[in-house]
Structure 1
Amino acid sequence: MAIDRIERGRAAHAFQTVYDYITRLPDEKGRKEYVAHLKKVPSMIQVNGLGQTLAFLYAKGGQDHVVYRQLESWLRHNPAEILPPYDEGQNGGFVKTVVNLPSREYRIMTKEALALLNWMRRFAGGLKDDLEQRG
């Protein structure tokens, strides 16, 4: 079924993204901060909207900017052909493109971002705990 394939792809991307980042963090504090950031972003999207949340993450730097880039890496191509081409070298090109989407596409992108973040939160929490147990 197509939906199962999409969900598996989303989960695989979320796992690889989180794994690649969290295993490079040098200490428990950094991993806890990353997990905390992943937990707060879905609420921010629901309260403020995807565009405002992306703008906030983009502007903040640090772990927030990491989450921004991780979302961009998925949403740039998924769902397919929703996001028009944009200049990746231009500062804020991604967020500018998202906030200018027609409302239907904007809602689709919001739903996709929340679905990806759901997987990322799960994997980040589990990987953080696993790395802490290993010492």
Structure 2
Amino acid sequence: MQTIQQQRAAYALKAVQNAAEDQSIHSEYKSYASNLPAMIHMNGLGQAIAFFKAKSAPEKPPQQRNAKEKAYFSLYEMLSDWLCSKGDLITPMPLQPYHRHNDVLNGITSEDMHTYRFAQAEAQALMDWVKKFAKAFMTDDDNGEQQQ
């Protein structure tokens, strides 16, 4: 049985590795992942995640998004999927605050303040891992070199 911290780390690792497959978003992804916890702290989860959703150009087909939009979208989807996780028996994941919803914004606008605070703390804890893994697995330049 894994602790919640191990489950967060495993989820973050998989999400970052999936995002890292697109070399074009490395720089933006690392930057946005690094800035998101501060945005959540200063503005709240709802404002921060709504900003990321807006910046992800949801009206565009995925293949028409630029690197910045792809990075915003990837981080938005990662957080939404985690916070709306229902858990399952095959891949044990904890029941998350917005497990009754398919999208984090629906959960934020539908649930009570206690659930919102839980989701905000959970988002911060997950982003600690995402930041670390993004720094470890994503390059900073076109040569594929990682920052020293």
TM-score range, shorter chain: 0.7 to 0.9
Q: For the Cα contact (< 8 Å) 2:80–2:104, is it kept in 1? A: yes
- Scaled by the length of structure 2, the TM-score of the pair is 0.74
Q: For the Cα contact (< 8 Å) 2:37–2:127, is it kept in 1? A: yes
Tell me which residue corresponds to 1:83: 98
Matched, 1:26 2:34: no
* Counterpart selection for 2:52 from 45, 52, 57: 57
Going from structure 1 to structure 2, the CA distance change for 1:21 and 1:81 (only over 3 Å counts) comes to closer
Tell me which residue corresponds to 1:111: 121
Tell me which residue corresponds to 2:14: 16
Tell me which residue corresponds to 1:43: 38
Q: What value does the CA root-mean-square deviation take over the aligned residues?
A: 2.1
Q: Which structure has the higher relative contact order (CA within 8 Å, separation 6+)? A: 1
* Counterpart selection for 1:71 from 45, 68, 79: 79
**In 2, Cα distance between equivalents of 1:120 and 1:59:** 21
2:3 aligned counterpart, secondary structure: helix
- Number of aligned residue pairs: give it: 123
Gap regions ≥5 residues in structure 1: none
Identity %: 30
- Scaled by the length of structure 1, the TM-score of the pair is 0.80
The residue type equivalent to 1:132 in the other structure is E
**In 1, Cα distance between equivalents of 2:126 and 2:55:** 21
Q: For the Cα contact (< 8 Å) 1:38–1:120, is it kept in 2? A: yes
Alpha-carbon distance, 1:98 to partner: 1.4
